[in-house]
Chain A
């Protein structure tokens, strides 16, 4: 009897654990009408649960859904107006990125080996990108990273099947430093608060490196690295209140950014120093009038209100807003740009008529230049596998008349001004004084 009860309990615990893992395995095929030819299968991987789902994962997934629907309907603007990829409709399989790196790699293998997708587009976490890249090479599986920021993907090793259309994170920090120095020419002191993991550490390293080049007399005062998802920032706000810095750099995102903003506003920190939020664009539609006016806002590239005024942006912004009742933020743009780049590479490789294989698509993607909702992407770093773009920063203000967030006083920096030249590692480029930057 006792044995049976123990077995029941273990079954319960097992069931609970399996149920908890469901989001990680939850897969949904997009509802697309059955095409005549075998559809092209894409695996779309993004955080669908957990803390990164709301700010990044879901907007990225929604960006994929809306773009693929438009491509399958042939309603995207030229040169993306051919149905699907080269006339063949595209079927997407959405997979949750949540879980350990080992789980993420297992899911990647399942997509490639069991589901036999033609390409995988996804990944937000730099750790997951670093874990997936060698497996993608081993399986010779075409993979496009859409959001993760670490420069190490292509700096550590040459890749044959891995691509990233979105620029890496160095651009965000260098752009932030250039904007800050342009707006505060006499800056003498700045501080930083970044999350204590790879993203936060790398962002601060690049920012302080760029500041040493651009404003060598300015000193970094308070350098804070609270743990990821710390939630409570009382001590950090107090520390910053004791500083005489004129600016505060942060690469905080979502919950940490919003929690920090609420807590610092209650104590008036933003009245003492200008906050530079390198991912702030992804939070402006939620924070609205709670984002302090005067905050310097970045969007990990020219996305959202910082995107160029081109036909692709108007199209994408409209279809996204019409569907989801909120404007797209930078992860949606990064996903759209990645999918459009992959489509062009596919169609270039399929010019002969037959369905191209991964090697042919990779050869066509390498070194590609294309324009999408966030402007022009040039695949020039990482031997043609890593894209660069211009970037833009601006100053936030909440338009009380329109009751809408606005980014004003926008400065745009050319791609070659904020990205390292081909063949040079990002940190070395900054440490050597950002030589060769074309601003």
Chain B
């Protein structure tokens, strides 16, 4: 019973982290058909930004809740600035090019931004643990849960609900769905596809940075953190289906629960299980759980 509840809670926490990171990636792919490797940089910049923000608010002796909100806002602002620079300054130049070329451009940008982090923040690692320690913990039987992890799960649920509501019930969401369904037809009907692209990329960048921000208090913010996360995010998005937000949510839950179960029950396969699940899903559903095969346009 203890193990089962531990698997469930650990799985949910891990899924929350994966969903927050992956949702921006899948949104950008769904709308723009760009496999955005730079998403790892958004995560890393978000984490470094959060570490900087934590330094500011702890020195300023702010209340913990205000400091936490400042941390999230600061990191997302960095994501927005990066997003506008990259989308307007670089990606718009390659729209319409072969997808492989675009992946290469985002990959090259990702590598450059890794060095930019070194130039801005140096090679030393940063600690931003204060929000997590301040949140405290709660004991449920033998299990001790971090309150910060509970906040993380709630935040992921809020992001998922907001994404669903925005897509289904707002004007912009309906425009976005039209562009996802068929870009050319959407343009023919007078939708400003360029603006939709820009806004989508900014939202994706901000969500990537948010992922880094919420993880910053749990990790040592150091060079290379974006590399690790982008691989995991790709696995989640591949399971759920490229471009599907529901898919990202279900993919994150599957990966989170399976990994937690592996760590508790068969730790030897912890590394294998994420990619094993991904391979199994792709064998049965090559386009992921929530995406159907598309007829190719000629």
Q: Which chain A residues have a beta carbon within 8 Å of chain B's beta carbons?
A: 5-6, 9-10, 12-13, 15-17, 19-20, 22-23, 48-51, 53-55, 57-58, 196, 222-227, 229-232, 234-236, 238-239, 241-242, 254-259, 262-263, 265-269, 286-287, 290
Interface residues in B1-48 by Cβ distance below 8 A to A read 2-3, 6-7, 9-11, 13-14, 17
Contact residues in A for B3 (Cβ distance below 8 Å): 242
Which of B111, B142, B215 contacts A241, CB < 8 Å?
B142
Contact residues in A for B260 (Cβ distance below 8 Å): 234-235, 238
B135 touches A238 (CB 8 A): no
Q: Which chain B residues have a beta carbon within 8 Å of chain A's beta carbons?
A: 2-3, 6-7, 9-11, 13-14, 17, 93-94, 97, 101, 104-105, 107-109, 111-112, 114-115, 118, 123-125, 127, 129, 132-133, 135-137, 142-146, 148-149, 215, 217-220, 222-225, 227-229, 259-260, 263-264, 267-268, 270-271
A254 touches B97 (CB 8 A): no
Whether A258 touches B112, Cβ cut-off 8 Å, given contacts A223-B267, A234-B149, A263-B218, is no
Whether A232 touches B123, Cβ cut-off 8 Å, given contacts A266-B137, A267-B137, A290-B129, is no
Contact residues in A for B125 (Cβ distance below 8 Å): 54-55, 254-255, 258, 286
**CA of A263 to CA of B149 in the docked complex: distance in angstroms?**
10
A20 touches B114 (CB 8 A): yes
B115 touches A54 (CB 8 A): no
Which of A196, A232, A259, A269 contacts B220, CB < 8 Å?
A259
B112 touches A267 (CB 8 A): no
**CA of A330 to CA of B96 in the docked complex: distance in angstroms?**
52
Contact residues in B for A10 (Cβ distance below 8 Å): 101
Q: Which 7 A-B pairs have the closest CB atoms?
A: A16-B108, A20-B111, A258-B220, A235-B10, A235-B263, A255-B220, A51-B224
Whether A238 touches B6, Cβ cut-off 8 Å, given contacts A9-B97, A51-B224, A54-B124, is yes
**CA of A287 to CA of B127 in the docked complex: distance in angstroms?**
8
B112 touches A231 (CB 8 A): no
B127 touches A258 (CB 8 A): yes
**CA of A10 to CA of B2 in the docked complex: distance in angstroms?**
55
Q: Would you give the shortest CB distance from B127 to chain A, in whole angstroms? A: 7
B217 touches A51 (CB 8 A): no
A267 touches B145 (CB 8 A): yes
Closest A residue, CB atoms, query B10: A235
Contact residues in A for B17 (Cβ distance below 8 Å): 232
B133 touches A266 (CB 8 A): yes
Contact residues in A for B271 (Cβ distance below 8 Å): 196, 225-227
B267 touches A255 (CB 8 A): no
With most chain B CB atoms within 10 A of its CB, the pick from A16, A51, A234, A255 is A234
Q: Would you give the shortest CB distance from A105 to chain B, in whole angstroms? A: 21
B268 touches A225 (CB 8 A): yes
A17 touches B108 (CB 8 A): yes
**CA of A222 to CA of B33 in the docked complex: distance in angstroms?**
44
With most chain B CB atoms within 10 A of its CB, the pick from A49, A50, A231, A235 is A235
Q: A225-B267, A255-B125, A263-B132 are in contact. List 7 more A-B contacts (CB 8 A).
A: A9-B105, A234-B10, A235-B6, A235-B14, A235-B260, A254-B125, A266-B148
**CA of A241 to CA of B146 in the docked complex: distance in angstroms?**
13
**CA of A9 to CA of B144 in the docked complex: distance in angstroms?**
52
B2 touches A242 (CB 8 A): yes
Q: 11 interchain pairs (CB within 8 A)? A: A12-B108, A15-B108, A49-B118, A231-B218, A239-B264, A242-B264, A255-B219, A258-B125, A263-B132, A286-B125, A290-B129
Contact residues in B for A229 (Cβ distance below 8 Å): 224-225, 227-228
**CA of A258 to CA of B128 in the docked complex: distance in angstroms?**
11
Closest A residue, CB atoms, query B263: A235
A225 touches B270 (CB 8 A): yes
**CA of A198 to CA of B162 in the docked complex: distance in angstroms?**
44
Q: Would you give the shortest CB distance from A289 to chain B, in whole angstroms? A: 11
Q: Would you give the shortest CB distance from A14 to chain B, in whole angstroms? A: 8
Contact residues in B for A239 (Cβ distance below 8 Å): 6, 263-264, 267
Whether A262 touches B132, Cβ cut-off 8 Å, given contacts A54-B223, A225-B270, A254-B125, is yes
B146 touches A51 (CB 8 A): no
With most chain A CB atoms within 10 A of its CB, the pick from B10, B133, B219 is B219
A50 touches B6 (CB 8 A): no
**CA of A387 to CA of B263 in the docked complex: distance in angstroms?**
38
Closest B residue, CB atoms, query A19: B112
B127 touches A290 (CB 8 A): yes
**CA of A234 to CA of B16 in the docked complex: distance in angstroms?**
12
Contact residues in B for A234 (Cβ distance below 8 Å): 10, 13-14, 146, 149, 260
A266 touches B132 (CB 8 A): yes
B215 touches A242 (CB 8 A): no
**CA of A45 to CA of B2 in the docked complex: distance in angstroms?**
49
Q: Would you give the shortest CB distance from B78 to chain A, in whole angstroms? A: 19
Which of A50, A58, A224, A255 contacts B263, CB < 8 Å?
A224
**CA of A286 to CA of B9 in the docked complex: distance in angstroms?**
30
**CA of A49 to CA of B270 in the docked complex: distance in angstroms?**
28
Q: Would you give the shortest CB distance from B277 to chain A, in whole angstroms? A: 15
Whether A241 touches B144, Cβ cut-off 8 Å, given contacts A49-B223, A232-B17, A258-B125, is yes
A54 touches B10 (CB 8 A): no
B143 touches A232 (CB 8 A): no
**CA of A287 to CA of B225 in the docked complex: distance in angstroms?**
19
**CA of A57 to CA of B123 in the docked complex: distance in angstroms?**
10
Q: Would you give the shortest CB distance from A337 to chain B, in whole angstroms? A: 23
Which of B2, B97, B109, B146 contacts A263, CB < 8 Å?
B146
Contact residues in B for A20 (Cβ distance below 8 Å): 108, 111-112, 114-115
Contact residues in B for A222 (Cβ distance below 8 Å): 267
Q: Would you give the shortest CB distance from A401 to chain B, in whole angstroms? A: 22
B149 touches A9 (CB 8 A): no
**CA of A53 to CA of B124 in the docked complex: distance in angstroms?**
8
**CA of A12 to CA of B9 in the docked complex: distance in angstroms?**
45
B220 touches A48 (CB 8 A): no
Contact residues in B for A51 (Cβ distance below 8 Å): 222-225
With most chain B CB atoms within 10 A of its CB, the pick from A19, A231, A238, A239 is A238
Q: Would you give the shortest CB distance from A229 to chain B, in whole angstroms? A: 5
**CA of A429 to CA of B225 in the docked complex: distance in angstroms?**
38
